Structure 1
Amino acid sequence: MKTISGLLLVVFIQALFFQTALAQEQEAALVPLPSLDDFTKGEDGWGFGLGLGVEYESAYEGSDEFGFEVQPAGAAQWRRGDDIFYWAGEALGWRGLRADTWLFDAAVAFDEGREESDSDDGRLDGLGDTDEGIEVVLQARRAFNADWRYWLDGRVVTGENGNLGIFGVGRRFGERKDGSGSEIGLVAVFHDSERANRDFGINALQSAASGLNETDLSGGFRSIGVNYSYRNYISENWQIFGEALYEHYGSDVADSPITRNNYEAEVGVGFIYVF
């Protein structure tokens, strides 16, 4: 009798572990990186996340003014196997996993530009508003192995207002495959002359209106930065997320009269409900 009871107990425990492992497998994110949200819970079909975040950040690129900003968070996603199509705020795109260690991402996004009113201290008076525009973002990430503990990243942002190139390396912390945990990345950013002057240049008309020295920048190295991302489930449907960014400008950008600080920084935290 004891033998039968013991056998039943072993079978029950094995079944329990099997169901737990199956549930974890079903809830595996497309890529287990906290910086890439996945609301599909490992299943084909629709996934939705909706929430709010609060950021404390630079008023504009190179600003010495900081403030709080509340922003919506989340996305609508549709998954089929190793592909996710998504709409997240001002971006519409596709993300796909290949061979377990390659991630490709393509998106069309809206660039809001910069407004004179972004500076409460009048630092941008006379410079006018920079142009808004549509951008295409192409990204490829290569993990060193299938658990995505370490990875390399390359990204190109091209659009009506110039081009950016972003290259980085990152490390993921935590053991779960559902996208929770944290990660840290180190990136180098490059821009062409059109993008550099859109963000930090001052033409003759702007110089006359603002009193700032005329400034013309060439393309090349823009900045080096570090970013940290955190994401965790506090219940079955609620996520908490956080991020921190520090970007240190190269000498050409730092010397622009627009650049009051030689860095940009932000810290944010928020909550998302996953349907």
Structure 2
Amino acid sequence: MRHALALSLLALCAFSSKSFAEDAAAAAAAAGDSFSAGVGLAYVPEYAGSDKRHVVALPFLERTYSNGIFLSTQRGIGYQARVGDFTLSAALGYDGGREDHKKNYFSGSDDLKGMGNINGSAQAVLSVGYQVGTVGLSLTTKQNINHREYGSTYIFGANVPLYTSATDQVGFGASVVYGDNKHMQTYFGVTAAQSAASGYRQYTAKGGVESITGGFHWNHVLDANWSVRSGVGITRLTSDAADSPLTRRTVTPTVMTALIYRF
């Protein structure tokens, strides 16, 4: 489920426009650090390619320091720096994997019975960003550390503001996810053993573009500390991910909203 959640939120959680609430917190960041906390809800598929969806909680905590270090439930633990016109970041993140049964309301899917679990894995997350006028571009790779057999992904993203005022920022975000052979086989392939246990036909998934996501995001400032972040978007699985016997729906909508307090 965590993999599906990550795919679905790629284009929904980039809020690049400044607001007066962010300006109020900038002094704290300049003095040494900044801290934000909140909670949200997201309506997402049970797994990438599922035709069933559910509501999951989105806890949000982020601590940033003036020296570039950050600790975040979304970005992991890492370091970010600006070098000329580029923004570079390196972080240690975590992917929760996938369960092959309905573990609880928030995790797993009975449609994957017999496929076996995909264990959680620490990830090295490396990103580079570049601003072209009002358009923010980014390239990110996620490399599994303790489960190298799960492969790697490469994500190209773009974000453009559409409307900005003192209290509201609306933008559009899009992303393309490329998965290597190991990644695609892990999440969309079916081995002979898995086929015998699950009933799905045997299938070899090769590396390629896994998905394309597009969505609108809205940040509404309530006061100097509180804000509401919301987003709505659509993810489409492509190539071997779309043709996988595990994929029951190639196009899925995602809706999310979160209440954030910035100290």
Larger RCO (alpha carbons 8 Å, 6+ apart) = 2
1:152 aligns with 2:137: yes
Counterpart of 1:97? 82
Cα separation, partners in 2 of 1:169 and 1:50, compared to 1, 3 Å: closer
Question: What does 1:9-158 correspond to in 2, within 5 Å?
Answer: 33=16, 41-43=25-27, 44=30, 45-80=32-67, 84-89=68-73, 91-99=76-84, 101-118=85-102, 122-145=110-133, 149-158=134-143
Across the two proteins, how many residue pairs are aligned to each other? Answer: 236
TM-score (norm: length of structure 1): 0.77
**1:15-69: CA deviation from partner (whole Å, max 9, x where unpaired):** xxxxxxxxxxxxxxxx97059xx79822321211111101111111111001111
In structure 1, stretches of 5+ residues that fail to align are 1-30
- TM (norm. structure 2) is 0.81
**How far does residue 173 in structure 1 lie from its aligned partner after superposition?**
2.8
Structure 1 residues 188 and 241, CA gap change in structure 2 (3 angstroms): same
User: 1:59-104: per-residue Cα shift (whole Å, max 9, x none)?
Assistant: 1111100111122113112124xxx3211126112222333x4222
Please point out which of 230, 249, 256 is paired with 1:268: 256
Query: Are 2:230 and 1:242 equivalent residues in the alignment?
Result: yes
Alignment correspondent of 1:191: 179
Shift of 1:232: 2.7
Matched, 1:171 2:171: no
- Classify the secondary structure of the residue corresponding to 1:41: helix
Structure 1 residues 157, 120: closer, same or farther in 2, change over 3 A? closer
Structure 1 or 2, whichever has the larger Rg, is 1
What 5-or-longer segments of structure 2 have no aligned partner? Answer: 1-13
Whole-Å separation in 1 of the counterparts to 2:218 and 2:78: 22
CA 1:32–1:269: 2 relative to 1, 3 Å? closer
Partner of 1:222: 210
How far, CA to CA, are the matches of 1:224 and 1:156 in structure 2?
16
Aligned identity (percent) is 25
The one-letter code matched in structure 2 to 1:33 is S
